[in-house]
Structure formats: C-alpha cells, structure tokens
Amino acid sequence: MRRITRLTGVPTAVAAVLVALAGTGARASEVTPSTLCGPGYATVDQDPIRDAGTGELLGTVHLLRNLLTGFGCAVTVKSAYAGTLTPTRVHLDPEWLPFSVDEGGRRYAAGPVHGYVRAGCVIWGGSMTGPDGVVHQHERANPAIGGAVTCF
C-alpha cells in the first residue's frame, strides 16, 4: 500500500524567493523551475496546461532531475493569472516511494515536490484552476493514472 505524503508548504529557501519576487512585482516568467527545484536539477520533460476552450497557455508542468543525487523534482509554473491567488497543483509519484503533492492557492507556482527517481518510473503532473472555477489539466495527463509517466 502506498503512503501519501502531503506537503503543507514550500521549503524555507523557496518561500523566501517567492516572497521576494512577490514584493518586486515579479511575473511567472521570472519564477523558473530550476530556481524552485534548486541547484543541480535539469529539465527532463515538460507539459503545457491549456484552456480547453480557447487553447490559451495557462501554465506548464515541469519534471526535473538531479543526476548526482538521483532525485526528481516537479513544479507547475503559471503563465496566466500570475500574481492572482488561484488553485494550482503539482504531484510526483516515484515508483515504490511515497506520493508527494503541493496544492492550494498559489500566485506564481506550485511545488517543488521531490522524490527519489534514480532507476525507475515516475508519474508526474499538475493542474490549474481558473478564476471561473474550471480545472485545467496538463495536456498529456492520463486520467487513469493521474499524470504522465517518465522512466529513467
């Protein structure tokens, strides 16, 4: 049976960065996946979140990996509604390890969530809810498993 680990907030360093960015009128484009995940992480995959009706890009879910440590990291970075508190979610589910999720009202990004992914597969994904209450999933989200799969 899998154990669910729920993150109640972002790590202190990331929180400090986001607070600093919020005070300077930062945009979502200034909040990068590598900044959120930390040093040594490189992008492995990414998937856009689009409005199903208009096709407008709302955000992107990113999967990163640190080759030295074997850890993976996932973040959802908002493109639309940046600076507005809207429900945003990201999750990472490494094979044989606990599921991690960060969700709630976010101004710029959800995450990071980390997990050990060195040799195996990981299910990852994210979503955003618009001010109108409509939930938008990332494009490759498989409803049966709750995300996309990447194997290392």
pLDDT digits (tens, 9 = 90+) for 37-86: 999 999 999 999 999 889 999 999 999 999 999 999 999 999 999 999 99
Q: Pick the range with the lowest mean pLDDT from 25-34, 44-53, 106-115.
A: 25-34
- Does the global pTM surpass 0.95? no
**What average pLDDT score do residues 124-135 get?**
94
pLDDT of residue 5 exceeding 70: no
- Cα 136 from chain centroid? 14
pLDDT band (50, 70, 90) for residue 96: confident
- pLDDT recorded at residue 120: 87
- pLDDT recorded at residue 29: 57
C-alpha separations of 11 from 5, 7, 63 in Å: 15, 9, 18
Q: How many CA atoms lie within 13 A of 58 on its CB side?
A: 27
- The CA angle 73-102-112, to the nearest 5 degrees, is 30
The fraction of the chain above a pLDDT of 70, given in percent, is: 81
Higher local confidence (pLDDT), 152 or 5: 152
- The CA angle 38-126-109, to the nearest 5 degrees, is 50
pLDDT of residue 125 exceeding 60: yes
